[in-house]
Homo-oligomer: A and B are copies of this chain.
Amino acid sequence: MQENYDCVMENLATNPLIEKLKLLMDLTDDEVQVILDLSFKTQKLPKGQSLIPSNSENVSLVMDGWACRYKILSDGRRQITSFILPGDLTGVRACLFGVSDFDTETLTDCVTTLIDGKDIARLFYEAPRLAAAVTWASAREEAMLTEHVVSLGRRNARERMAHLFLELHSRLEIVGFVEKLAYGMPITQEMIADCLGLSIVHVNRTLKAMRKEGLLEYYNGYVILKNAKKLRSICGYDSNHLEGTLHPEIADYDPDA
């Protein structure tokens, strides 16, 4: 079921995690190498699998494909709490702090690499700048969740969808997965519904209306933002929450000073 798939890592320039971290700080060549060395196993995961077996000692880094974190209530209702895109790490909390309180599932075939949780833990002693980078990635998740809370709590269906499509565009752009205002979104309307706290039918209704207004196209797993400006004004979108700059005290630390 899972075969090795080594060619993916060849082109270092396109490692999506590194692209993402560059947004936070300049990485030295050594640090890039440390990050690359973290991965000990690259694998292909088919659609519909868990990204990490529960109680795993490992962290998973998605290189290609889409996955999600979700929770299921006792009666079957499902809430997707976040989409996991290339460059995203999953399982850091479970590894570092022994708590895992959601499940993950690949929404498409995915290419992932596994990282030993121990190696992430060691960063705190051996590469504080990278430990801070991991903390940042976690804080960024937190910021996205905050936006998600705002959407679910106070935005209507139209606004929620606008926000989702714009945020996905921002995130994918950072890791090099968009072409201008278009990007692949290889998931089902049911998944959008489970993410936005809506019913499938209402997602479909809302999508239809937005298409009709010329706001966006969405077919065949492809999204085109036809009127990004209006979409932004609909939901008050702002991509600040995805950004960051490392505190100089960490970025420029000099142990001799």
Contact = CB atoms under 8 A, between A and B. Distances in A.
Interface of A: 24, 69, 71, 73-74, 77-79, 81, 92-93, 95-99, 101-102, 117-118, 121-122, 124-125, 128-129, 131-132, 134-136, 138-139, 141-143, 145-150, 152-155, 194-197, 236, 238, 240-241, 243-247, 249-250, 253, 255
B243 A125 contact: no
Number of copies of this chain that the complex holds: 2
A98 B244 contact: yes
B154 A73 contact: yes
Contact of A125 (B102, B145, B255): B255
A93 B139 contact: yes
A29 B172 CA distance: 46
Contacts of A147: 101
A124 B131 contact: yes
Given A99-B243, A131-B131, A253 B146 contact: no
A142 B148 contact: no
A58 to B, nearest CB: 12
B138 A139 contact: yes
B153 A197 contact: yes
Given A96-B139, A121-B247, A125-B128, A101 B154 contact: no
Contacts of A154: 73, 77-79, 197
Given A95-B247, A145-B148, 11 more contacts: A73-B155, A81-B150, A92-B139, A99-B245, A102-B146, A117-B249, A125-B253, A142-B145, A145-B149, A152-B197, A153-B194
Contacts of A153: 79, 152, 194-197
Contacts of A135: 96, 131, 134-135, 138
Given A125-B128, A138-B135, A153-B79, A97 B148 contact: no
28 contacts: A71-B146, A73-B155, A79-B150, A81-B146, A81-B149, A81-B150, A92-B139, A95-B247, A96-B132, A96-B139, A97-B245, A98-B244, A99-B240, A99-B243, A101-B143, A102-B146, A117-B249, A121-B247, A122-B249, A124-B131, A125-B255, A134-B135, A138-B142, A142-B142, A148-B149, A152-B152, A152-B153, A154-B197
